[in-house]
Structure 1
Amino acid sequence: MSTRRFSRRAAALAAAIGAAATLITACGSDVPAPLRVGTDGTPEMQVAAQIYAGALARTGVRVDVGGRASADRRLLDEAAQGDVDLFPAFTGELLTALMPGPDAVSSEDVEEAVNRALPQGVTIGDPAAVNDRRQLILAQTVSDADHLTDLAQCGAVPPGLPLVSTGELTAEEKQAFSVCRFGAITERLTPQQVADRVRGGQALGTLTGLEAATALAGRDDVTALRSAESGPMAQDLVPVFRASLIGKPQMKALSRVAGELTTADLAELAARVERGADPAAVANEWIGTHGV
């Protein structure tokens, strides 16, 4: 961990410990008000919110996960105003919500830029091993033939191959993949369709980290090219919270989640929610299994 990241977290923790002893007290009552957890409503963030909430609840804090979904920008505003106390987010999406045209790419640079731009009194915790950064997908035979191990080497791929994608690519993502000299773009396919289109070596594809964790599992005909420095902006999962409400036990609980939760975990849990499972039940099962 860099000195700047350690110093920032140490300062936030020191400022929070005194104020967080009893968290926040409801007006006219000795019963602490619940810590309010928000979410953007997507399956992965519903699960992440419930995991953070469940981990915090094990420290003795009352927690309430809100039912209303809000975008990151609104959640940031609500946190700054004291209407939401914690919510999960991906660092790249946070940075885009905080400032126009950010140029940070790597995980550390994006995290530092987010911390500089966050509203006063709002901070982020340790990133989990969950990365939803969009990746370039190609046939394993093409990767092996040209000994490709990094996105920066994609110029060795024959130019003009069509590019297939699950979502609508941003200008920043197109620029990040331009080293591949791709041809026509087809968007809004399913992750499985993308994997099937590229396996023969006649197309390139893109998947988010969560999509790749599911669509590429168990396959040896398709692989991903990643790059920490030259790819699209990092998208690491972090808890965003009001620093004054998170004491030492709660910081430890959030750090335990960061140390256990992986991209494959969240992809599998979110898939269960998409199939109709209750996010709280799915999260509690994961918490119990991992001892968070």
Structure 2
Amino acid sequence: MAIRGFFRRTAVLVATAATAATLLSACGSDNQVPLRVSSDGTVSMRVAAQVYAKALARTGVWVDVTDEVAGDRRLLERAAEGEVDLFPAFTGDLLTTLTPAPTAVTGDEVATAVNRALPQGVTIGDPASVSNRRQLVVAESLIGTSGLADLSDCAVLPAGLPLVTTGILTSEERRSFEVCRFGSIVDQQSPAQVLAAVRDSRALGTLTGLEAAGTLAGQDAVVAVRSADAGPMAEDLVPVFRSGSIGKSQMKALSRVAGELTTADVVAMSNRVAKGADPAVVASEWVSTHGV
């Protein structure tokens, strides 16, 4: 009797252990661990983060989205520490954060330099057709009289014109526009104020890529002047992610986003969010519409 009791107790213990092991296995499965997507909290990056998140969720992974409301440096630190799996960023901003005096200018050069400088285990995905590179904006009438076609030839414009800009130009941006021989700088203006100053040919202006896409649409009096090889460094939208967190299916999803998402898309979605729309809903609609 004692022997039979012993075996019964042993069987119960084995069954209990097996059940516990099964529960632990389920709790530790990939499906129970969210892929953590974050952003710096700006409207455009909240939108981009949600677009990446919705595309990743379609691969069957559980995605959790939060807004860090911090700069790229903090997001990079959190990714390196394993606290964030993916966040969107512009390549030029990343390179400036990672490198004291970057010299890369073109999209490929900047992306290569960023990848070399990223913390171990952190990488970037394919760039989308979304650029926030700062652009020179000039009155169409001034373009017509000077024949200016490329930023590198900006010296054909009259010297000493004030340069009106949104935000505050970085030292790299100042150097990039020096070819235009501008006079004083009037900074921290709104995009509308920049256009008003430039429209009468008495000033030059600068706008970021997103600002230009949102402001110059339908404008005939003011145009943007760009150059592939001159001007401020490229600012292409990329996903920054922990390589160990992204599998083949997720990589394909990120590449599909890169092939579809444009500057105009981000501007349009950002405008909706700025007016009160939920970025998750707006991004979900975009992903569904584009079949990403």
TM-score w.r.t. length of structure 1: 0.89
2:235 equivalent to 1:235 = yes
Q: CA deviation at 1:170?
A: 1.1
Q: CA deviation at 1:206?
A: 0.2
Which residue does the alignment assign to 2:217? 217
2:176 equivalent to 1:176 = yes
Q: Residue 287 and residue 188 in structure 1: after superposition, are their counterparts in 2 closer, same or farther (change >3 A)?
A: same
Q: Cα deviations across residues 241-264 of structure 1 (Å, max 9, x unaligned)? A: 111111111111101110111111
Q: Residue 102 and residue 142 in structure 1: after superposition, are their counterparts in 2 closer, same or farther (change >3 A)?
A: same
Q: CA deviation at 1:274?
A: 1.6
Which residue does the alignment assign to 1:186? 186
Q: CA deviation at 1:98?
A: 0.9
The answer to whether the 8 A contact 1:140-1:220 is kept is yes
Which residue does the alignment assign to 2:62? 62
2:166 equivalent to 1:132 = no
Q: Cα deviations across residues 137-177 of structure 1 (Å, max 9, x unaligned)? A: 00011112222211011100000111100111111111100
Distance in 2 (CA, whole Å) between partners of 1:258 and 1:53 is 13
Distance in 1 (CA, whole Å) between partners of 2:202 and 2:288 is 45
The answer to whether the 8 A contact 1:38-1:69 is kept is no
Aligned residue pairs: how many? 268
Which residue does the alignment assign to 2:289? 289
Distance in 2 (CA, whole Å) between partners of 1:259 and 1:57 is 18
Q: CA deviation at 1:26?
A: 9.0
Distance in 2 (CA, whole Å) between partners of 1:280 and 1:26 is 31
Which residue does the alignment assign to 1:251? 251
Distance in 1 (CA, whole Å) between partners of 2:194 and 2:268 is 19
Distance in 2 (CA, whole Å) between partners of 1:229 and 1:264 is 23
Distance in 2 (CA, whole Å) between partners of 1:27 and 1:122 is 28
Q: Residue 242 and residue 197 in structure 1: after superposition, are their counterparts in 2 closer, same or farther (change >3 A)?
A: same
Which residue does the alignment assign to 1:29? 28
Unaligned runs of 5+ in 1: 1-24
The answer to whether the 8 A contact 2:129-2:236 is kept is yes
2:39 equivalent to 1:39 = yes
Q: Cα deviations across residues 165-212 of structure 1 (Å, max 9, x unaligned)? A: 011111111110000000111111111111121111111000000000
Which residue does the alignment assign to 1:157? 157
Which residue does the alignment assign to 1:111? 111
SS of aligned partner of 1:65: strand
Q: CA deviation at 1:29?
A: 2.8
2:198 equivalent to 1:198 = yes
SS of aligned partner of 2:93: helix
Look up the equivalent residue of 2:86 and give its one-letter code: L
Q: CA deviation at 1:277?
A: 1.5
The answer to whether the 8 A contact 1:129-1:261 is kept is yes
Distance in 2 (CA, whole Å) between partners of 1:291 and 1:28 is 32
Look up the equivalent residue of 1:73 and give its one-letter code: R
Q: CA deviation at 1:27?
A: 9.4
Q: CA deviation at 1:28?
A: 4.9
Q: CA deviation at 1:69?
A: 2.0
SS of aligned partner of 2:88: strand
Q: Cα deviations across residues 81-111 of structure 1 (Å, max 9, x unaligned)? A: 1100000000000111112111111111100
TM-score w.r.t. length of structure 2: 0.89
Which residue does the alignment assign to 1:143? 143
SS of aligned partner of 2:241: strand
Runs ≥4 residues deviating over 4 A: 25-28
Look up the equivalent residue of 2:78 and give its one-letter code: E
Which residue does the alignment assign to 1:48? 48
Which residue does the alignment assign to 1:7? none
The answer to whether the 8 A contact 1:163-1:183 is kept is yes
SS of aligned partner of 2:32: coil
Which of 1 and 2 has greater Rg? Answer: 2
Which residue does the alignment assign to 2:16? none
Distance in 1 (CA, whole Å) between partners of 2:25 and 2:147 is 61
Higher mean C-alpha displacement, 55-64 vs 30-39: 30-39
* Larger RCO (CA within 8 A; separation ≥ 6): 1
The answer to whether the 8 A contact 2:40-2:67 is kept is no
SS of aligned partner of 2:230: coil
Distance in 2 (CA, whole Å) between partners of 1:175 and 1:99 is 17
